[in-house]
Amino acid sequence: MSLAQTIADRVTRNVETVIVGKHREVQLVLVALFCKGHVLLEDVPGVGKTVLAKTISRSIGCTFRRIQFTPDLLPSDVTGVSVFNQGSSQFEYRPGPVMAQIVLADEINRATPKTQSSLLEAMEEAQVTVDGVTRPLPNPFVVLATENPIEYEGTFPLPEAQLDRFLIRLSLGYPGRDNEIAILERQRQAHPLDALEQVVTVEDLVAAQAAIKEIHVERLILEYIVSLVEASRSHDDVYLGASPRGSLALYNTARAWAAVQGRDYVIPDDVKDMAEPSLSHRLIMSPAARMKNVDSRLVVRELLNSTPVPGARAAAAGGSLGGGILRGRRAES
């Protein structure tokens, strides 16, 4: 069992003592952590977005800060501010809540665009600049942002540049009937989050992040990733397709997903599994598509159906591309 799979299994089991019936969603957040990427949790209130962020933070033992985004929040409330010390006659930096390993940006779309933009440098370069001085952020640094997709009054839609900095966008959705009953039973006396314990260390997470970079990716898989991204740029319903950052996101998440599944190589199914969470929020729909309520997730599914998998023609002669890679890796070992 690989290091990444071991850590993912431990954290997932621990988180599932609090978050019920969301196995894939929990693993997607872990994929983002392994890739040093940020996550946008977009769903209705009350489905556990904030609790998910807290449980993962406690399971790993990372420093955790929560920022409640409101219209009156200022950029300095996020990044920190320099305060004049009369005793030393110098300005001293007072760190903001962004100086943590896991930052929960709760209801991020309720803050003004100016405040939202204060996270751009932090999310892309893992640093903040205050009064001309650049300070590095802790390692690892991950932003888990939440937003409510159904309330538009008093909100400020995230600009494309901000959305593009999120590695993954996902929704938790409502729990099933049995899972919702289990939630009620678990909170009969107290919230299970109160008794949650740490199961892995930050050092383990950093080691897993390094191991992800060793996952083998065939050139045909790279061509498949690029073909999907290129297809998004020419789709009739898409005004602006995914950028090369989208290609990198799909590449990295596919490697991490393969590692979570216990493999040291990527197969086409890994790319397919990660295409929707890593690409859909990067697509800007055309005005006509928005009038028809065409969802970007549906467009990604269409791209997966219409884009041929490289090497698939070899199926009759000896297996698909995934099987060929599998045999090749076994032969090497």
For 26-68, how does the pLDDT look when each residue is reduced to its tens digit (9 = 90+)? 999 999 999 999 999 988 888 888 889 889 989 998 889 999 9
Which residue has better confidence, 85 or 37? Answer: 37
Which residue has better confidence, 326 or 151? Answer: 151
Residue 325 is predicted with a pLDDT of 47
Domain boundaries, the chain: 1-213, 215-333
Please give the CATH topology (third level) of the domain spanning 215-333.
Helicase, Ruva Protein; domain 3 (1.10.8)
For 143-166, how does the pLDDT look when each residue is reduced to its tens digit (9 = 90+)? 999 988 766 667 788 888 888 999
Specify the pTM: 0.86
pLDDT tier at 118, thresholds 50, 70, 90: confident
What is the 3-state secondary structure of the chain?
CCHHHHHHHHHHHHHCCCCCCCHHHHHHHHHHHHCCCCEEEECCCCCCHHHHHHHHHHHHCCCEEEEECCCCCCHHHHHEEEEEECCCCEEEEEECCCCCCEEEEECHHHCCHHHHHHHHHHHHHCEEEECCEEEECCCCCEEEEEECCCCCCCCCCCCHHHHCCCCEEECCCCCCHHHHHHHHHHCCCCCHHHHCCCCCCHHHHHHHHHHHCCCECCHHHHHHHHHHHHHHHCCCCEEECCCHHHHHHHHHHHHHHHHHCCCCECCHHHHHHHHHHHHHHHCEECHHHHHCCCCHHHHHHHHHHHCCCCCHHHHHHHCCHHHHHHHHHHHHC
Residue 200 is predicted with a pLDDT of 92
pLDDT at 302 over 90: yes
Q: Once rounded to an integer, what is the mean pLDDT over residues 6-31?
A: 92
pLDDT tier at 1, thresholds 50, 70, 90: low
Which residue has better confidence, 148 or 19? Answer: 19
Please give the CATH topology (third level) of the domain spanning 1-213.
Rossmann fold (3.40.50)
Are domains 1-213 and 215-333 of this chain identical in fold?
Answer: no
For 290-301, how does the pLDDT look when each residue is reduced to its tens digit (9 = 90+)? 888 888 999 999
For 222-232, how does the pLDDT look when each residue is reduced to its tens digit (9 = 90+)? 999 999 999 99
Residue 44 is predicted with a pLDDT of 81
pLDDT at 190 over 90: no
For 264-279, how does the pLDDT look when each residue is reduced to its tens digit (9 = 90+)? 999 999 999 999 999 9
